[in-house]
Structure 1
Amino acid sequence: MVKVGVAGYGVIGQRLADGVALQKDMELVGIADLAPTLSIKALREKGMPYDLYLVEGADKSKFDAAGIPYKGSFQDLIGKVDIMLDSSPGGVGAKNKELYAKAGVKAIFQGGEKNSVADVFFHGYANYEKGLGVNYLKLTSCNTTGLIRSVDCLDRKYGIDRVAITIIRRVADPGDYHRGLTNALQMDKAPSHQALDLMTIMPHIEATGILVHTPVTHGHIITVVAHAKKGKITKDMALEAFKTHNRIRVVTIDEGFLGNASFFRYARDLGNPRGDMYEIGLWEDSIVESGDNIMYAINIPQESVTIPETMDGIRASLKMQPDSATGTAETNKYLGLGKWKK
């Protein structure tokens, strides 16, 4: 049984912990954090299903005052695991890497860290094999993760050589107070980092993109214009490919999926913890042919979309499965991805 620890119990860390706990061939040894945040207090109120370890600088008296039990130090946790999932604030993961290296423990970092922190910039479908046995992996951002899922899906089936993307980006996660665009959209300089990141993961594809910040919180929407290497991808061909992918949920407007908030509400109605969805949504209505290009739109549930690919990273780094097909299939099985097709 592979032993896993999680550093940082915030927006992503909570979901990483839950994701590992669902994998029947992995054991979540514990989580580590600095302060008794609301997330940690909620964990206590749920009966402390995960063991808590305190990072350097944590004030133990505050945990004691809140009645929150802890098992030991961050170093204690590192010494008990095969791999750490680091979802610490940006820049902290790079410092933590020194502790992992000293202990001989592998690690996977989230999108907030610089690419230089890892040996491989990783995606479960597009370059799983490059992560086999590698000590340090870094996940792509939420937008890039979902974007690559859809582009890789078409690329595997038909071959893609060029994409152009437009990202309609949520400005902050639900509950965040540090950003406050009101009645305004904000442009980023082109090309967006997601387009550049896609080319890093999939260097055979030429990509460019534009990003627009929007004053919403429940998910990003990305439009993609893709061009095939040979021939033309029709709407029916694209739809056929998308419907076979267990991390892409094909929906229609007539079903009630009017936009990003529809997915969030549906996830809550399904009873998914925190209203999470691991899969991206893709509107069948948005798939259109434009000359030799195929265009479509996807919804990115930014808080949870990277969790499956992180589980894939564990499988690759520890050589649990030898290739993308078997590795992603195991992750999908334990997370219940694709179950809506039955």
Structure 2
Amino acid sequence: MVKVGVVGYGVIGQRLADGVALQEDMELVGVADVGPTLAVRALKEKGMPYDFYLAVEENREKTEEVGIPISGNLEDLIKKVDIVLDATNAGIGAKNKVLYEKYGKKAIFQGGEKTSVADVFFHGYANYEKGIGKQFLKLTSCNTTGLIRSVDCLDRAVGVDSVMIHIVRRVADPGDYHRGLTNALKVDPVPNHQAVDLMLIMPHVKATGVLVHTPVTHGHFITVFAKPKKKITKEEAIAIFKEHPRIRLVRIADGFLGNASIFRYARDLGNPRGDMYEISIWEETITPFEDHLIYSLHIPQESVVIPETIDGIRAAMEMQTDRLEAVGLTNKYLKIGGYR
């Protein structure tokens, strides 16, 4: 049983803790954060299902004042685990790495950290083998994670020569205030980092793309112009995507009009926090055009990286050396693809 700790109990950390707790071959030892944040207060109100470790000693008094039981400090948690999932704010993970190295522990960092923080830039489906046995892995960003799922899926089926990407990016997560209140779009330079990151994971695929920030909170929208190595029909593309457990095919005709429809559907399913682990591809957007295949997809930015992070535990800890066996177990315990 692999012992796992989550450092940073925020948007991603909460979901990582829940995801690890569902894995029957892993044990969630506990979670760590800086003090009595809203997420930690909610953890207490839920009955403290996870042990809490205080990362900032200066906040001990205020944490105890609100009745949150403290199981130890950050180093206490690190000592007890085999691997740490670092879900702290960008830049903090690199500082925490010193502690992970001090105690000889493995760690997985999220997309906000610089790629140089880790031994391997990791994606569960696209390059699982490269993460096997490594001490430090870094996940791709939420956009890149979902994007690579779809491109890797096509690539393994028919081969992909290149992709052009247009991203409509949500400006902040629900509940965030730090981005301010805006009524504007913001354009990033070409190529966007997701295209560059895709080429780091899949160096045989040429990629470029545009990114537009938009003032919404529920999900990113990506249109991909992929150039397969051989022409495929719409029906063939649909069949390929349907085979991937972490891709959900949706239709405008069924009422999936956009990001809000998918978020509402996830809530109607009873998914915690309205999360969806799968990316969604609209069937009506899957269109062969000359030598390209066009399709559009939805990225549930708060939850999409959870399966690939758990894949990373399996790789780093050498729990499974076969890629499909590893991702299959992650999918099974997270109940991904069960609707098929």
TM-score under structure 1 normalisation? 0.98
- Give RMSD over aligned pairs: 0.8
1:67 alignment partner, SS class? coil
Q: Does the Cα contact within 8 Å between 1:53 and 1:74 map onto a contact in 2?
A: yes
Aligned length: 340
1:184, CA displacement in angstroms?
A: 1.6
Residue of structure 2 equivalent to 1:190? 190
1:307-318 superposed matches below 5 A: 307-318=306-317
Query: Taking structure 1 as reference, are residues 63 and 181 closer, same or farther at Cα in structure 2, changes over 3 Å only?
Result: closer
CA distance in 1, matches of 2:58, 2:232: 55
Residue of structure 1 equivalent to 2:323? 324
CA distance in 1, matches of 2:58, 2:31: 14
1:323, CA displacement in angstroms?
A: 2.1
1:233, CA displacement in angstroms?
A: 2.1
1:104 alignment partner, SS class? coil
1:324, CA displacement in angstroms?
A: 1.5
Q: Does the Cα contact within 8 Å between 2:170 and 2:213 map onto a contact in 1?
A: yes
Residue of structure 2 equivalent to 1:155? 155
Residue of structure 2 equivalent to 1:77? 77
1:193, CA displacement in angstroms?
A: 0.1
Q: Does the Cα contact within 8 Å between 1:181 and 1:214 map onto a contact in 2?
A: no
Superposed CA offset, 1:99-141 (max 9, x none):
0011011000000100010000000000000000000000000
What residue ranges of structure 2 are gaps of 5+ in the alignment? none
1:60-99 superposed matches below 5 A: 60-99=60-99
1:211-230 superposed matches below 5 A: 211-229=211-229
Q: Does the Cα contact within 8 Å between 1:34 and 1:58 map onto a contact in 2?
A: no
Q: Does the Cα contact within 8 Å between 2:57 and 2:73 map onto a contact in 1?
A: no
CA distance in 1, matches of 2:251, 2:286: 11
What residue ranges of structure 1 are gaps of 5+ in the alignment? none
Residue of structure 1 equivalent to 2:52? 52
Q: Does the Cα contact within 8 Å between 1:171 and 1:181 map onto a contact in 2?
A: no
1:181, CA displacement in angstroms?
A: 5.1
TM-score under structure 2 normalisation? 0.99
1:87-166 superposed matches below 5 A: 87-166=87-166
Q: Does the Cα contact within 8 Å between 1:252 and 1:283 map onto a contact in 2?
A: yes
Residue of structure 2 equivalent to 1:32? 32
Residue of structure 2 equivalent to 1:256? 255
Residue of structure 1 equivalent to 2:287? 288
Residue of structure 2 equivalent to 1:210? 210
- Matched to 1:268, the amino acid is R
CA distance in 2, matches of 1:337, 1:244: 12
CA distance in 1, matches of 2:177, 2:299: 21
Residue of structure 2 equivalent to 1:277? 276
CA distance in 2, matches of 1:67, 1:85: 26
CA distance in 2, matches of 1:237, 1:182: 41
CA distance in 2, matches of 1:318, 1:226: 34
CA distance in 2, matches of 1:144, 1:83: 24
